[in-house]
A and B are shown apart, each in its own frame.
Chain A
Amino acid sequence: MTKILLIDDETDVRESVSRVLEREGHTVQTAENAEAGLALAKNGNFDILISDVIMPGIDGVQAIRQIRNSHPDMKIIAISGGGNFGRRAYQPEAITTTAYLQAAVEAGADWVLTKPFERSELVDCVNELITATKQ
């Protein structure tokens, strides 16, 4: 069972993403800002962090950098409502994203998803990261 921490300031995003991941059999805990997320990450033993990048207060890039430092093994997915060219986002030669997502990758994110992602994109991405952890 995979434990996932989800940080996003949008309630609808938190709830819909949680629903999708829980249906896949994962455990999801949510935080509505980076401060709350960092507090949860300290005690909880999460496998994957999914964090929005642009948020009020501490922004996602800082949160990702802190968690990467404290949890080197945790897989991190950055999500943001930046530019999106569908599945091409997964092809390195054609990646286009915002400076924020670029910064998130530099801060330690393993993957980026641009909103609005489809259900399959989200599920595939999480599954791939779980497989990578097991290897």
Chain B
Amino acid sequence: MASLGKTISGRITLGVLAIHLLVLPTLYFGLVFLLKESNEEMFLNGSRGHARFLADSLERIKDPEDDAEIIDILDSVVLSGSGVFAELIGENRRLMSSLVEKSAADLYQEDFRIGEHDDEVYYIAVPVFLGDQNVILRVGFDEAPLWEQNTSAYKNGLVIIGIYLVALIIMLPIIGRRVVKPIKDLQRASRDIASGALYEHLTVESNMVEFVALAEDLERMKSRLIGMNEQLGKEIEERRETELERRSLERQLQHSQRLETVGTMAGGIAHELNNILVPIILYADIAIEDLPEDSPIRADMERVLSAAKRAKSIVSQVLTFSRKMVSSEYSAVDMANVVRDSVELLQASIPPSVTLDVGIARNCPKVLGDSSLMNQLTLNLCTNALQSLKNGTGTVQIRLDTASADPDLSKTHPTLADRDLVRLTVRDNGSGMDRATQERIFEPFFTTRGVGEGTGLGLSVAHGIVSDLNGAIRVESALESGSTFSVYFPALDGEVTTSAGITPG
């Protein structure tokens, strides 16, 4: 807890106490002074009244010379207890009834004020006509009860002030808390808002205008905060999306640029290799012809020839990946037939542990292309799927249907947006690929297969064919759950003019 002087309730307590420390003594002494005054006034009035009454009684007696009667009256003062001394002083006589020492009583004729002479008796002298004589009546009253009254007034005043102070000290923190509570409520609400609980309602239990107004202001501030917060959130989300989109596009651009670079390089190398392979193949062939049937060199040369032919096949695939075809060579191709032919070829070569699940949608539109290339594309995708199967066991799903470009595809391949597409999907439940592999999967000679199991050209050839046909190829894969290759071709609508290929002359 903060020290007393630093909280609002603490300051209120201290402030009120300070004011009381100044005001209370003044109040106390003033009060006691007034009480004393009024007590003395009453005492004086009482005393004077009594003395007057005594004087009247004396003036009424029949025989002013009868001392016994006078003494009786004087005694009645002392006996009634209202006075302690009564005396009649004439020219030649002095009558007296007294409870005090006579010597002391004789010292003064009359007191000017209460408490004079320290004798605790207040003397009043009244002139009385007794018969034809002028005499003086002196009456003394005991001051002690007055002093007692005054002392008890002091005491009671102190007690009252003390009770008031104690009550004040007990009440102050309670009052302070009551004053501070709405502030604390607001403080708690502000903290909630600061810590993100924006949708808590901001209330204050107070009917003090300032607090109600403050709560309203805070509520307004909160509403604006919520609005700004939402707007900011939206903007951040939009930027994040834009950034993601940009990165994805950049990635794809880099990817296609890399493929293009690799393709150009591969094409150049392939072209050179083709020139080199010409003499190898031709000379080997001639040499074989020249060698006798039983020559051991003949077998070697045959191996040279077959190796050269294998090289030729690989170079040819590299060229398929890198080559830019002339579109006029294409014709309308029915993919359904292509898929059926490819599946027939595959059925003959796959082990029984593999299931080929083929689904071909009815009335798939034709696409512009080259049936032998399409065949190769399908076979390459299927071969890749078969090789991905773990232990040579699993299912390869082949689907041919129609589709439309999703937003992603529309972005990467604007020519495919808003068109009917023919989609070939080859899905396996094999080992799948990690992200890095997916990135490089279409590069020529990139392979994850063991030595001798693949050249790493199948998918790059597939990519080359699809790119040439203005299609798109996409791969989705997750490790251990398999891969899906989807190929999209623009569907042909209406008549297609089949271009004349190269015809022998």
Interface residues of A (CB under 8 A from B): 10, 12-13, 15-17, 19-20, 23, 54, 75, 81-86, 88, 90, 92-99, 101-102, 105, 110-112, 114-119, 122, 132
CB atoms of A83 and B281 under 8 A apart: no
CB atoms of A99 and B326 under 8 A apart: yes
Given A12-B275, A114-B274, A116-B281, 5 further pairs, Cβ under 8 A = A82-B319, A84-B316, A88-B372, A95-B329, A110-B505
CB atoms of A96 and B278 under 8 A apart: no
CB neighbours (8 Å) of A102 from chain B are 326, 328-329, 502
CB atoms of A116 and B372 under 8 A apart: no
Name the residue on B nearest A113 (C-beta): B278
CB atoms of B504 and A92 under 8 A apart: yes
Stretch of B186-194, B282-290, B345-353, B377-385 with 4 or more beta carbons under 8 angstroms from chain A: B282-290
Kindly provide the distance from the CB of B461 to the nearest chain A CB, expressed in whole angstroms. 11
B312 at the interface (CB under 8 A from A): yes
B279 at the interface (CB under 8 A from A): yes
CB atoms of A115 and B504 under 8 A apart: no
B323 at the interface (CB under 8 A from A): yes
CB neighbours (8 Å) of A110 from chain B are 504-505
In terms of DSSP, what is the predominant structure of the interface of chain B?
helix
CB atoms of B277 and A94 under 8 A apart: no
Name the residue on A nearest B284 (C-beta): A119
CB neighbours (8 Å) of A16 from chain B are 278-279, 282-283
Please judge, given known A-B contacts A81-B271, A92-B504, A96-B370, whether A119 and B282 are in contact too, CB under 8 Å: yes
CB atoms of A92 and B502 under 8 A apart: yes
Name the residue on A nearest B311 (C-beta): A116
Q: Interface centre among A12, A81, A86, A102, by most B CB within 10 Å?
A: A81
Please judge, given known A-B contacts A20-B286, A116-B308, A119-B286, whether A84 and B274 are in contact too, CB under 8 Å: yes
- Interface size on B (CB < 8 Å)? 39
Q: Interface centre among A86, A111, A115, by most B CB within 10 Å?
A: A115
Q: Interface centre among B273, B308, B372, by most A CB within 10 Å?
A: B372
CB atoms of A10 and B329 under 8 A apart: no
**Docked CA distance A83–B271 (Å):** 9
Name the residue on B nearest A52 (C-beta): B275
- Picked from A75, A95, A116, the residue with its CB within 8 Å of the CB of B502 is A95
Name the residue on B nearest A109 (C-beta): B505
CB neighbours (8 Å) of B130 from chain A are none
B243 at the interface (CB under 8 A from A): no
Please judge, given known A-B contacts A92-B503, A92-B504, whether A81 and B275 are in contact too, CB under 8 Å: yes
CB atoms of B308 and A92 under 8 A apart: no
- Picked from A13, A15, A122, the residue with its CB within 8 Å of the CB of B275 is A13
Please judge, given known A-B contacts A20-B286, A83-B316, whether A116 and B278 are in contact too, CB under 8 Å: yes
Kindly provide the distance from the CB of B328 to the nearest chain A CB, expressed in whole angstroms. 8
What are the nearest 7 A-B pairs in CB distance?
A: A81-B274, A116-B277, A110-B505, A16-B279, A12-B279, A16-B282, A119-B285
CB neighbours (8 Å) of A12 from chain B are 275-276, 278-279
